[in-house]
Chains A and B, each alone.
Chain A
Amino acid sequence: MVTLYKQISKFVVAPVLLGFLLVPVSIADPGRAEQQKIVINAYVDGYVLPAYQSFVEETKQLTKKLKMLCEDRQEERLVDVQMAFTSSVLGWSRVLPVRFGPIRLHNRMERVFFWPDTKSRVSKHTSRLLQEFEGKDIDFTHRSIAAQGLPALEYLLYSSISRNLLDAEKPNCGVAVSISKNIYRIATDILAEWNGDDGYRAVVLSPGPENQTYRTADEALAEILKSTSEILQLIASSMLNSSLQGSPDDAKAKRAPFWRSDLTLQSLQVTLGTVKTFVLEAHFSSLMKKEDQGLGKNLIFELDQALGVFSDIHLKNTSWVELVKTPEGHAQLTYLTNPVLGAHNLLAEEISQAMGINVGFNSLDGD
């Protein structure tokens, strides 16, 4: 297990080290070290592990509901499946801010969540699975990752072919069960690799000279800050802006994740709400000096501003695809990018500096 994380450490330690070379902030304060440990512990045990545990349970339920549908193809069972799919997508949205650790091994992130999909690879490769289905569990080893995760399942459940799930002559239900099992297996593997004596939890919580990934608590904390700020950047720059395209007339709603199931907004709202919750519950502010505490409040303010937009939008009861095409909806979503980017900038720059940490480059940066 430790060997596996050596692969990750190559990508993680180098930029963090560079950050320390440029801004050599080092505060050897035992009280601070203890407080860092408390924050990291709260993040891992209070957020990461329960969120993955829930995702495992949700995908298990989804597989169960799909099997029940395949055994008895009733309309109400399809509704049950779609509800379980919603829970799984929202469960995934909760773990989305964790962009390091076991999720980064074996292309797990892309296998669960193949996005963006500018070339319609999800529908093409999932259709191929339907054509080649032999009535037994699919071995995904040499299959496209576009057909392995939640977007592939979404295509089977919410596109023009979704009624085929009710047809016993069609392979759709069997393929859906296989995909769902695959997602459940990946979720289970991720959770298992976080747990255990030498799991990733132990790696994050035990920084030191012998630790291949995090030599100090500062490095572990930098990883958490970087991962959190990165998802905020991704939401604003890619998930929202790729659809908005500057004007309602140019908008491309289908660039967004989970547009078929109309779960785009709920998914984004859950991810942002999750960030707010763990920032508060892990007491990020406790790592800043008294005079910098206002930055923590600013972060919560920005996240609240963003979350407030969702409340206004939900009142309209308009689908994502329609919303981005209306001037008012487009304006609201464009506004939404501001507090999200504001929160990103606070975390990546001001708050991390106030904590005495330079988060270095994230995976969206580079040459």
Chain B
Amino acid sequence: MEINRRAFLGTLLATSLIPLSFDALAIKNRSILLAPFRSQAGYFLGFLNRSGQLEAKIKLPWRGHGLAISPKIGQAVLFSRRPGRFAVVINLMTHGIQYEFATPANRHFYGHGVFSSDGKYLFATENDFENERGVIGIYDAQKNYIRVGEYPSFGIGPHEIILSRDGKTLIVANGGILTHPDFPRQKLNLYNMSLPSVFLIKRQE
């Protein structure tokens, strides 16, 4: 797991991969890095060893962004980049796609998510674009990732989401930038954007 980010990026550049982001996990006592990347042949999810060598790759129909990883259930979820609505579930043993799922039509992903510590639920940052508010979509990992509910993110443009070390609190960063999928990636509220904020959603005991 202890991989120097700069050295790793240097290795990737030397192999002419263009990483779009990356996440790491230790599996079977060896480090694996998952990185969505772009090449002339399109978009991929790459599995790299700690030397930065590509061990496997999966072709994607869209540009991937962030990953949620659960070693507990042996799965990772790759989210499409905003304003994408799609995500794929990767089997970490076979390096294959197990499921594909999407947000409802009136939501899109912001590219990040996190598993509950037991791996049963996936929480994803999403845009309720018609109502101009951020939400956290809740997906049941034991039921083919059906969407079972959502929390408000208490802000606009939730992006990164992490789980506290004790597994009881979701920590959500609201970037504050309003977007709409009809106007991809255009910032629609620069004139009255509020400061980015962080909200904590604590599990009830």
Show the binding face of A for B, using Cβ within 8 Å. 22, 107, 110-111, 116, 118-119, 145, 234, 237-238, 241-242, 245, 252, 255, 363-367
B120 at the interface (CB under 8 A from A): no
In the complex, chain A residues whose CB is within 8 Å of the CB of B186 = 116, 234, 238, 364
B111 at the interface (CB under 8 A from A): yes
Point out which of B13, B186, B187 has the most chain A C-beta atoms below 10 A from its C-beta.
B186
Residue of B nearest to A252 (CB): B182
B190 at the interface (CB under 8 A from A): yes
A118 CB contact (under 8 Å) in B159, B180, B185, B190: B180
Instruction: Looking at the assembled complex, report how far the CB atom of B84 sits from the nearest CB atom of chain A, in whole angstroms.
Output: 13
B183 CB contact (under 8 Å) in A107, A238, A365, A367: A238
Provide 25 A-B residue pairs closer than 8 Å at the C-beta atoms, listed in order of the A residue: A107-B190, A107-B191, A110-B190, A111-B191, A116-B180, A116-B182, A116-B183, A116-B186, A116-B188, A118-B182, A119-B132, A145-B191, A237-B183, A237-B185, A238-B182, A238-B183, A238-B184, A241-B182, A242-B182, A242-B183, A363-B187, A364-B185, A366-B185, A367-B65, A367-B111
Q: Could you list 19 further interchain pairs (A-B, Cβ under 8 angstroms) beyond the known A238-B182, A238-B184, A367-B159?
A: A107-B190, A111-B191, A116-B180, A116-B183, A116-B188, A118-B182, A118-B188, A145-B191, A234-B186, A237-B184, A237-B185, A238-B183, A238-B186, A241-B182, A242-B183, A245-B182, A364-B186, A365-B185, A366-B185
Q: Which of B158-205 contact A (CB under 8 A)?
A: 159, 180, 182-188, 190-191
Query: Main secondary structure on chain B at its contact with chain A?
Result: loop
In the complex, chain A residues whose CB is within 8 Å of the CB of B13 = 22
Q: How far is the CA of A238 from the CA of B191 in the complex (A)?
A: 19
Residue of A nearest to B189 (CB): A110
In the complex, chain A residues whose CB is within 8 Å of the CB of B132 = 119
Q: How far is the CA of A145 from the CA of B189 in the complex (A)?
A: 11
Residue of A nearest to B18 (CB): A22
Q: How far is the CA of A116 from the CA of B187 in the complex (A)?
A: 10
Q: How far is the CA of A99 from the CA of B183 in the complex (A)?
A: 17
Chain B 75-111 against A: per-residue CB contact (8 Å), 1 yes, 0 no? 0000000000000000000000000000000000001
Q: How far is the CA of A237 from the CA of B179 in the complex (A)?
A: 13
Q: Which of B134-180 contact A (CB under 8 A)?
A: 159, 180
In the complex, chain A residues whose CB is within 8 Å of the CB of B182 = 116, 118, 238, 241-242, 245, 252, 255
